[in-house]
Amino acid sequence: MDVNIGVLALQGNVSEHIDAFRRALHMMGRGTSSEVFEVRHPGDLNKCDALAIPGGESTTISRLIEKNHLHEPLCTFSGGIFATCAGMVLMATYVDDVRIRTLGLIDMVVDRNAFGRQKESFEADIPIEGLEGGPFHAIFIRAPVAKWVGAGITVLSRMNQGVVAVEYGKHMALSFHPELSCDTRLHERFLKKLCDNNST
């Protein structure tokens, strides 16, 4: 089946997500029949089977979601959401910053800057539950973690600071930046699960 993937293009790693999903679709043999495009307005979501919420500055993205009248459409979006870094913050039910109005799509409590400031950014090879091919080389930039997750949330990976990767239904939320890697395994996993759900 064709898959149309939107990337929320308000702030953050937009072009990197577009490129990563195009590579993943190519690896899956769907590169000629699927589309990846920018999403800025509520009407754009109508064309999407899936949406990426990229990393960036979570308070800025939250403010721009409100400005572009996207909060309610995102909360009721029926497709899968692939959220990274700031995107993981926005997906939570609670975050430690009153400036952020979360989407509440994954029942978890998130600590925004669990690893410290920009200068504490780092890379690490981390195990991902059920991911074939060995550990994933993850890039953490002012990364959040989930300090608590609710029932029904699948924890894919955790570190000493907290949970860094989760799945819930069609959604995947990661505290790191897979779009900055050449490794498309997580994008492919997300798309495969989405396609499997849509075909049943």
Question: Which residue among the candidates 16, 17, 48, 179 is catalytic per the annotation?
Answer: 179
pLDDT at 119: 60
In one letter, which amino acid is 69?
H
- pLDDT score recorded for residue 29: 83
Angstrom distance (rounded) from CA 86 to CA 107: 16
Walk me through the domains of the chain, giving residue ranges and CATH numbers: 4-199 (3.40.50.880)
The pLDDT score that the predictor gives to residue 13 is: 84
166's tokens: 């989760």
Which residue among the candidates 17, 48, 171, 177 is catalytic per the annotation? 177
Instruction: For 123-169, write each residue's pLDDT tens digit.
Output: 999 999 999 999 999 999 989 999 999 999 999 999 999 999 999 99
Specify whether the CB–CB gap between 144 and 164 falls below 8 A: no
Our answer to whether residue 71 is catalytic in this structure is no
Per-residue model confidence (pLDDT) at position 2: 80
75 in active site: no
DSSP string, 113-153: TTT-SGGG-EEEEE--TT-TTS-EEEEESS--EEEEE-TTP
Q: Residue 80's beta-bridge partner residues?
A: 50
Confidence at residue 123, expressed as pLDDT on a 0 to 100 scale: 93
* Whether the Cβ atoms of residue 13 and residue 54 lie closer than 8 Å to each other: yes
Q: Are 194 and 49 contacting, i.e. CB atoms less than 8 angstroms apart?
A: yes
Is 80 exceeded by the pLDDT of residue 198? no
Q: Are 65 and 42 within 8 A, CB to CB?
A: no
Residue 178 has a pLDDT of 95
- Using 50, 70 and 90 to split pLDDT, how confident is the model at 117? low
Residue 182 bears catalytic tag: no
